[in-house]
Amino acid sequence: MIGLNEAITLAVSAHAGQTDKSGEPYILHVLRVMLAQKDVEAMTVAALHDIVEDTSITLADLEEAGWSARVVAAVDALTHRDGEDYFDFTRRAASDELAKPVKIADLRDNLRQATDVGAQDRRARYLKALALLGEA
């Protein structure tokens, strides 16, 4: 079975060239969320948390590569689906015990990064999502 090292390698490769709203390499967000986790399994999920949503990699690709069903399910829970209400997505992510701390770290990092012009609406959304999770 594969784990954290492979997740980091895949994330670096898959997010290569992507930048966040402030122009920084996107992988830095992924790594900050990963480092906020308390155990290796959660760190693995955090390394993969945006890979299905923001790259061409699919959940089936993760399964085929050998990640555990538990890790793949958590990544699935952290993947915002087209047309899905953001707060419904937040609740769905929080319903998976492995995904919940990753989602909390993701929201906190997004909130910390939301300093660009026009970030007011995103900040409000992140604060509301954290409140839904009992974290604000």
Catalytic residue positions, numbered = 53-54
Beta strands in the chain (DSSP E): none
Q: Would you call 1 helix, strand, or coil by DSSP?
A: coil
Residue 73 structure tokens = 């399910």
DSSP class per residue in 30-66: HHHHHHT-SSHHHHHHHHHTTHHHHSS--HHHHHHHT
Which residue is associated with the tokens 């060239």? 17
